[in-house]
Structure 1
Amino acid sequence: MRLIMNNIGKLLSISAVLALSANVTYAEDLGAVSVFGSQDETQQAGSAHFIGDDEIKKWNYTDPERILSRIPGVYSQTEDGYGLRTNIGMRGVNPLRTSKINTMEDGVLQGPAQYSNFSMYFYPDTGRMEGVEVLKGPAAVGTGPKTTAGTVNWISRTVPTQGTKGHYSFTLGDDGFSRNHAYYGGQLSPSISYVFEVHDYRADGFKSIKGTSNPGDTGFDKTSDLFKIRYTPVGSKWNQYFELSSQNTEETSNETYIGLTTAAFHSDPFQRYGASAADQMDADYHRYIFTHYMEPSSTSRLTTKLYKTRFSRLWAKMGKVYVDPQGNGSGSVSSVSLSALDMQGACGADAGNELRACNIITGTTATAANEYLEMAMGHRDYGMTGIQFVYNKQMGNHDIEIGYRRHKDYRLREDSGFIRKYGLDSNNTLSFKSETGATDGAGELKDTDAESWHIKDIITHGNFTTTLGLRYEDTESNDGTEANPGNSKQDVNDDETMLSAATVYQIQGGAQIFAGYHQGYSPIGAGTSADATPEESDNYEVGLRMSSPDSFIELIAFYVDYENLLESCLIANGCTGNIGDSNNAGKAEIKGIEFQYRLADIFAAPAMKGQSTMKSIKYPLLVSGILQDSEYLTNTDDELNQLGKSIAYVPDFQMYVSLGAETPNWAVTLGAKYHDDTFTNASNTYKTGKAWIFDLHSSMNLPIRVGGVTQAVGFINIDNLLDKTIVASEHNYGKRPNKPQTFMAGGKFDF
């Protein structure tokens, strides 16, 4: 009740402020933040999809994996259930840590360090976004640096250039979930406009930690803010503007890599071992973008962006157990990594030190006086700085785009020697013992200086629209320490040129057929061993697209032929090597089909008998999915048993279906996503579960028109309606579940 009253209080306060201006007009221009260029999603020579502000607000999701569920060919690997550590893939690439696709916001690379360290331990706060674009195949050559799969570009709140616009929404739900989202924008003068946005969401978590006196919070707190201010010179013949954007995010999440043994998962999938009670991530992110947009002529435009990001995270997580072979509390102790334990077999394959360590982790044995659990303090600082130009010019039947980006990023480890020691008693209570601080200047420092060019020429000739593309990437990376930068590897150079070509043929009646080819590339991370080489592949696609005012059909067949597949060594995938390195996985191939069918109203025509009293109700239908077959074509020195196996974390099948009933005053939609069982290691011995997960969404307009409110909507949402539990993640740290049934309700108010 106290939380409800707090939200009502916030609503009334914001209402009072926003009521000072009651102008309802709103205009926006996405040209400078879009990666679609001059073509919308139905004109691209390849796969392109867009989700707008209305749809994002309709579903009320904060989890990017759920937002992107409807996009064909995009799949995810659930980890924490809330989307905090996002794992997104497409076109046969490994989704883990979203490291194989380009993630952007407003057309600028996002993430900790897209060249030096690919892993997305920070992902843009998608609950505050106004839209998202997804490009796959040849269409994504203009983004880079990774060109095998594609790009996800999130579009943040745009500045209103006419009138004002405000919004406030709140959500309350199970497991202490709450969400508050507010933004407001307008004009300070005819030439100066702005928007300010705050998004906060949090939960207590859906898991319980075993043991007495252990903390019970397994959830998170995450807060983001966005501020943009734009100057538009009045009367400028170049139709130009200058914009400064600032975005900040803070997060504390009580998440762990430690899963459950198979037996423990079947007993209670939502429990956590007491050994994981102190695991926690604290993260802090800051991003600044300066944009200049101009139209030097009626047929040309130039967008310039300068950007800077900083990200710091401290992920405290149990990594080793120091055990006394005799267990008598005296004598020397030996270290055992969690990755060495048989969590799948409930310690059955362990012996000696490993067996004792496994029993301690799973809570069946207490630590002796000289034994302890060692917590690795994963303290990392990241940064990105860059400048980019995109110039578009129409020349007859040619629409030419030329782009340049100079980008620098780094990853600094601040945790060399930084550990904490804990004991675990017979009640599974975790207790702090001691701490050793980090060694100054000893932290590993990786950095990359990258230059890239691209050119795209969209040629219209008869019923054909052909897109030719060229991209060039040139990187120089270093690996060393904070005290001695580059002392390990210095000025390691790599350059690559990628080609793409695609064509669309317009058929009468709104149909299109298209085909494309592009060269795939992914750079190696800074500091990776000298024998690792960048990822290279040949990619082909052919598709059919049919659209009408009330329906849309798209069917695309694709083939990815890896000359050299690149995979990352991460704790998240149970890797025991040098964490963060890129490893060559040899030759591989993926064959697949993406499909989507949208219908505005399944009963639109002809009308059903007896339906005359229900003409105001529409029944929209959406079906999308992917069928694919992946295979390693070679073994490697690190993986001797992967030949002929499925590529890790790449699902064979995924499908999404939604059916709604909508009127001007209320709406109900049932969405269902099929999660296929997916192997999570190269030898295909671990895999996730499979199931249909249903989400229910309902909303109704409310008759509230006070305090400047122009529209009010109440809603009730239920995630995982049938409360289906599956193994969402499994590797050698154990099994973890998906999010259980979650009931949420709230209100939305536009001003």
Structure 2
Amino acid sequence: MNLLKSAPWALALLPAAVLAQSNPTPPKTDAPAAVVLGAVTVLGDEAASDELPGATTLIDQATLKQSRVFTTNEALRKAPGVNVRDEEGLGLRPNIGIRGLNPTRSTKVLLLEDGIPLAYAPYGDNASYYHPPVTRFERIEVLKGSAMNQYGPQTIGAVINYVTPTPTQETQGVFSVAGGNRGFFDAQGRFGANGLLLDFSRKISDGARDNTDSKLEDFNLKGLFELSANQTLVLRVNQYREESNVTYTGLTDAEYANFGREYNPFDNDTFDATRYGGSVTHELSFGSDDLLTTNVYVSHFTRDWWRQSSTTTDTQCNATTYTVGDQTLNFQQARFAGVAVDPDQCNSAQGRLRDYYTYGVEPRVRITHASFGLDNELVAGLRAHRETQDRIQENATTPQGRGGARSENNKRELTAYAAFAQNRFGFGRLAVTPGLRLESIDYTRRNRLLGREGEESLSQLIPSLGATFAVDERYTLFASVHEGFAPPRVEDILSNGSATADITAVEIDAEKSINAEAGVRARPFDALRFELVVFRNDFDNLISVGSIAGGGVPLSQGEALFQGVELSGRADLGKLIGWSVNPFVELSYTGLPTARSEGAFTRADNGAVVPGTDVSRRLPYAPRHLFTGTLGYELPLGITARLEAVYIGDQYADFFNARSPEDTAIPTASRGSGQFGEIDDVLVWNAAINWRRPGSHWTLFATTKNFTDEDYIVDRTRGIQTGSPRLIQAGIEYQL
């Protein structure tokens, strides 16, 4: 794609080209407010959302506040089609799956903040080991369907955009403090004036298991500056710091049975991470509805994760032995037998040390025009993006060692250029939106231990087509079809080389699918709204690891099919009836009857068939049913109360569809590892209450999560991970 090699010049010339081909109208006096809204949102306001030919969900500030959501996981469960899996209990690394796709490390979803890529390497390593606290956000937007092609590079699942508050000229401030069981403490502050807004958050928690205490601090400074009547500049600077004692491994089946859900002996495992990010957004309004937005962004993420076990089948500590009766068991065997192990006796600690540098520029333009005698809206843009990964592994020879011999020293680089255009043709109440996206990616991998280097490139043209039909002002029908695309990681498309072999391209394709959906958005009454969607995602190539266990399959690919239905809505019963109080109901439901392989998956490294991936078997981590329902009550005295039920249906943890950890289909050596077997369904109850006396600046709140204290499994990828036990929290908030 030589054309894209000139993308940097095109990026520089785009603003001039737009202005040269337009007839600017006199500047609007209210332009800054309108401009800012368009830059940071994916869905826009309610009217703009109705024009999108795909499923949309908006989780607004009132919902986040009234629910007193503890983590991003809890917030996202309010959106249909979204399966979020817990990990360490504080929501530090959410695992987000969309419409049956594996949620591990959120690799099948595109995360944005104020419309800017949030992941530290969205092209070359789209794994979520960093996530800001949910308290930073004012609202959360979820977008599916063909409109996703405006964003990229991940278009197989959904776009999730986290929107931060907009600075104002007036003085504003919110301060809160909360505490609870399991060592939870949370202090938050937000203060702004004269176009500047500073957010601060400090959270401490003991986590869901033993030896999983975490501390994080998050700063976010945002500035809004009016350059002229039709130009604004938005500056963002943020810093995130995390210090955690978090292990990577889960539990074996015997450990879970003998010691319970909170057992974790790995008190030497530590995770330290720091992220610095910054962006500049310039917005130019040059017509009544025309807008040019240019984002420039940069981030540096560094993380050191020292651990003594990565999975229950890890042999790192096998030099340590235990005597049980007349048997001598190594470390791994002792765990399989449910014997309490002591990591202090293991003279080993492995450090996965990572640095990621990401930066890019992305101008995009929105132009309304009357070509062909129709009402048109063109949205188009370009992106130039660069990523560098420094990846080192050091092996210490003591349990608390934090340095040692290097077994990995990789530098992985990626340069990507993208261009997209979508034009909405208006035919009265019918609108049709065709679009194209072009991605061009160059990969480089260097094994600095061996002096080996290799390169590979990938280009993909991604079409889309969407349509909406406004039945009247209360009902909108929509449908779309687009090609889903997700590029392979650097480490997946290029081998690591060896002493006798160069780094070469691996026979792996990008993830590709045909995503189709159709639905209706409706507001039959002012106090009732709902959205109903049916979808079909047909994968020509799905990249999956299934389970890390059973043969150590590092990567596999194959054909897959996902089909289902989504329903979401809210009814304000008090407003419908005309009461002074307002009972309300919210619901989010996903039914996924089909989540199956359409053929055997094959290993990416050697083409061998992956055991268990027979035709029509259900894919792992694809619950058949997801449901979040809320009963709420709003009183004139300033009291709001919410009772929430979260249901997650049963799911398989492996390609074998094993129902029991001892299923005969599971390789003998892996039985009891905790990585195989069915994950039972679970119903979790949450509750929250808020009281703010009318006219007061103070709000008192209390919340309980999993108040029935359900003991349940959420994941078996690296061994059994369990859900959070009962959490009880209370706090006070002051608003200027």
TM superposition score category, shorter chain reference:
0.7 to 0.9
Secondary structure of the residue that 1:538 maps to in structure 2? strand
Q: 1:102 to 1:669 in 2, by over 3 A?
A: same
Pick aligned residue for 1:514 from 467, 471, 478 = 478
2:339 corresponding residue in structure 1: 364
Q: CA deviation at 1:91?
A: 2.3
1:365 and 1:698 mapped to 2: Cα distance? 41
Q: 1:647 to 1:448 in 2, by over 3 A?
A: same
Q: CA deviation at 1:549?
A: 1.2
Q: 1:271 to 1:405 in 2, by over 3 A?
A: same
Q: Aligned pair count?
A: 657
Q: CA deviation at 1:321?
A: 11
Secondary structure of the residue that 2:679 maps to in structure 1? coil
What amino acid is aligned across from residue 332 of structure 2 in structure 1?
Answer: A
2:48 corresponding residue in structure 1: 40
The question of whether the paired residues in 2 share the 8 Å contact of 1:47 and 1:136 is answered with yes
1:321 and 1:591 mapped to 2: Cα distance? 32
The question of whether the paired residues in 1 share the 8 Å contact of 2:446 and 2:454 is answered with yes
1:218-247 deviations in Å (ceiling 9; x for gaps) = 2210110011223312xx35x101222100
Q: CA deviation at 1:578?
A: 8.5
Pick aligned residue for 2:231 from 221, 240, 243 = 240
1:473-488 map, 5 Å: 473-481=439-447, 487-488=452-453
1:650 corresponding residue in structure 2: 622
Secondary structure of the residue that 2:308 maps to in structure 1? strand
2:416 and 2:83 mapped to 1: Cα distance? 29
The question of whether the paired residues in 1 share the 8 Å contact of 2:250 and 2:312 is answered with no
1:552 equivalenced with 2:491 (yes/no): no
1:411 corresponding residue in structure 2: 389
What amino acid is aligned across from residue 556 of structure 1 in structure 2?
Answer: V
1:682 corresponding residue in structure 2: 655
1:735 and 1:322 mapped to 2: Cα distance? 9
1:186 corresponding residue in structure 2: 193
1:200 corresponding residue in structure 2: 202
TM-score, structure 2 normalization: 0.83
Q: 1:747 to 1:577 in 2, by over 3 A?
A: same
1:182 and 1:618 mapped to 2: Cα distance? 30
Larger deviation, residues 126-135 vs 258-267: 258-267
Pick aligned residue for 1:444 from 405, 410, 428 = 410
1:595 corresponding residue in structure 2: 567
1:168 corresponding residue in structure 2: 175
2:93 corresponding residue in structure 1: 85
1:722 and 1:110 mapped to 2: Cα distance? 35
Q: CA deviation at 1:258?
A: 2.5
Pick aligned residue for 1:669 from 629, 642, 654 = 642
Pick aligned residue for 1:231 from 203, 225, 228 = 225
What amino acid is aligned across from residue 488 of structure 2 in structure 1?
Answer: I
2:25 corresponding residue in structure 1: none
1:697 and 1:278 mapped to 2: Cα distance? 36
Q: CA deviation at 1:545?
A: 1.9
Secondary structure of the residue that 1:32 maps to in structure 2? helix
Q: CA deviation at 1:702?
A: 4.0
TM-score, structure 1 normalization: 0.82
What amino acid is aligned across from residue 723 of structure 1 in structure 2?
Answer: D
1:127 corresponding residue in structure 2: 135
What amino acid is aligned across from residue 251 of structure 2 in structure 1?
Answer: L
2:164 corresponding residue in structure 1: 156
1:356 and 1:521 mapped to 2: Cα distance? 42
2:239 and 2:404 mapped to 1: Cα distance? 28
1:354-503 map, 5 Å: 357-359=332-334, 364=339, 372=346, 374-396=348-370, 397-415=375-393, 417-422=394-399, 432=400, 436-439=403-406, 443-481=409-447, 487-490=452-455, 492-503=456-467
Q: CA deviation at 1:52?
A: 2.2
The question of whether the paired residues in 2 share the 8 Å contact of 1:130 and 1:156 is answered with yes
Q: 1:654 to 1:321 in 2, by over 3 A?
A: closer
1:617 equivalenced with 2:581 (yes/no): yes
Secondary structure of the residue that 1:175 maps to in structure 2? coil
1:282 equivalenced with 2:282 (yes/no): no
Pick aligned residue for 1:138 from 134, 138, 146 = 146
What amino acid is aligned across from residue 260 of structure 2 in structure 1?
Answer: P
Secondary structure of the residue that 2:48 maps to in structure 1? coil
Q: CA deviation at 1:200?
A: 1.1
Q: CA deviation at 1:268?
A: 4.0
1:91 and 1:476 mapped to 2: Cα distance? 30
1:616 and 1:715 mapped to 2: Cα distance? 22
Q: CA deviation at 1:445?
A: 1.3
The question of whether the paired residues in 1 share the 8 Å contact of 2:645 and 2:683 is answered with yes
Q: CA deviation at 1:421?
A: 3.2
What amino acid is aligned across from residue 542 of structure 1 in structure 2?
Answer: A
1:353 and 1:103 mapped to 2: Cα distance? 48
What amino acid is aligned across from residue 168 of structure 1 in structure 2?
Answer: F
The question of whether the paired residues in 2 share the 8 Å contact of 1:702 and 1:714 is answered with no
What amino acid is aligned across from residue 229 of structure 1 in structure 2?
Answer: G
1:456 and 1:99 mapped to 2: Cα distance? 25
Q: CA deviation at 1:459?
A: 1.9
Q: 1:734 to 1:484 in 2, by over 3 A?
A: closer
What percent identity do the matched residue pairs reach?
23
Larger deviation, residues 683-692 vs 531-540: 683-692
1:565-604 map, 5 Å: 565-567=542-544, 573-574=548-549, 583-601=555-573, 603-604=574-575
Q: CA deviation at 1:319?
A: 2.9
2:343 and 2:464 mapped to 1: Cα distance? 62
Q: 1:68 to 1:294 in 2, by over 3 A?
A: same
Q: CA deviation at 1:561?
A: 0.9
What amino acid is aligned across from residue 684 of structure 2 in structure 1?
Answer: I
Secondary structure of the residue that 1:597 maps to in structure 2? strand
1:371-399 deviations in Å (ceiling 9; x for gaps) = 83532211111121100001010113001
Q: CA deviation at 1:354?
A: 7.3
Secondary structure of the residue that 2:64 maps to in structure 1? helix
The question of whether the paired residues in 1 share the 8 Å contact of 2:467 and 2:480 is answered with yes
Structure 1: state its 5+ residue gaps: 1-25, 188-192, 209-216, 324-334, 342-346, 423-431, 608-614, 706-710
Q: 1:321 to 1:524 in 2, by over 3 A?
A: closer
2:221 and 2:688 mapped to 1: Cα distance? 30
Pick aligned residue for 1:531 from 507, 520, 541 = 507
The question of whether the paired residues in 1 share the 8 Å contact of 2:709 and 2:726 is answered with yes
1:690 and 1:338 mapped to 2: Cα distance? 34
Secondary structure of the residue that 1:80 maps to in structure 2? coil
Secondary structure of the residue that 1:655 maps to in structure 2? strand
Q: CA deviation at 1:482?
A: 5.0
Q: 1:605 to 1:273 in 2, by over 3 A?
A: closer
1:33-85 deviations in Å (ceiling 9; x for gaps) = 11236863333211111122232222222411101111111111221122112
2:672 corresponding residue in structure 1: none
What amino acid is aligned across from residue 309 of structure 2 in structure 1?
Answer: G
RMSD: 3.1
1:412-433 deviations in Å (ceiling 9; x for gaps) = 1122x433433xxxxxxxxx5x
1:115 equivalenced with 2:123 (yes/no): yes
2:283 corresponding residue in structure 1: 293
Q: CA deviation at 1:509?
A: 6.0
Larger deviation, residues 36-45 vs 102-111: 36-45
1:255 equivalenced with 2:246 (yes/no): yes
What amino acid is aligned across from residue 380 of structure 1 in structure 2?
Answer: R
The question of whether the paired residues in 1 share the 8 Å contact of 2:212 and 2:247 is answered with no
What amino acid is aligned across from residue 653 of structure 1 in structure 2?
Answer: H
1:619-659 deviations in Å (ceiling 9; x for gaps) = 11011111112001111225121122222222211011001
1:304 and 1:573 mapped to 2: Cα distance? 41
1:336 equivalenced with 2:300 (yes/no): no
The question of whether the paired residues in 2 share the 8 Å contact of 1:648 and 1:681 is answered with yes
Q: 1:575 to 1:467 in 2, by over 3 A?
A: farther
Secondary structure of the residue that 1:297 maps to in structure 2? coil
Secondary structure of the residue that 1:587 maps to in structure 2? strand
